[in-house]
Amino acid sequence: MTVTSHVRCPGQKGQIEIYMKYKKVILYTAVGATVASWIVAGAGFAFGVEKIILIIMVAVAAIASEILFWAVAVIFGISVFESRKKIWSWLKSKLRPRKNNRKNI
């Protein structure tokens, strides 16, 4: 059994940089695939493709989005995944109009 770590040691010069490059490649690939799949689905909608083909395009785009979500969770750590409720509540608070609680006298 071999135990490997990604901590820089004198015998592992440059290993951490290679590890970080793989993370970036995975992240950029996932983002690119997700954006491309949604662009293709939007183009299919704009050009009026058949309904079943459009459903397949949207399903593929949704799966690509899910893969991107899990790739981000793996790369940035599970703490981002666990704090998704805080992230969503922050985003929703920015998008919702603020209520005016002042009473007219």
pLDDT digits (tens, 9 = 90+) for 79-89: 666 677 777 78
**Spatial distance between the Cα atoms of 19 and 14, rounded to a whole number of angstroms:** 9
> One-letter amino acid identity for 12?
Q
- Rounded to 5°, the CA angle 82-86-89 comes to 140
**78 falls within a domain:** yes
**32 falls within a domain:** yes
In this prediction, residues 42-52 reach a mean pLDDT of: 94
Note down the domain range covering 48: 16-95
Q: How far is CA 29 from CA 8, 24, 32, 51, 75, in A?
A: 26, 8, 5, 28, 13
Q: How many domains does the chain have?
A: 1
Place of tokens 């793989």: 22
Quick one: pLDDT band at residue 96, thresholds 50, 70, 90?
confident
**6 falls within a domain:** no
**22 falls within a domain:** yes
In this prediction, residues 1-30 reach a mean pLDDT of: 66
**105 falls within a domain:** no
Residue 58, pLDDT score: 95
**88 falls within a domain:** yes
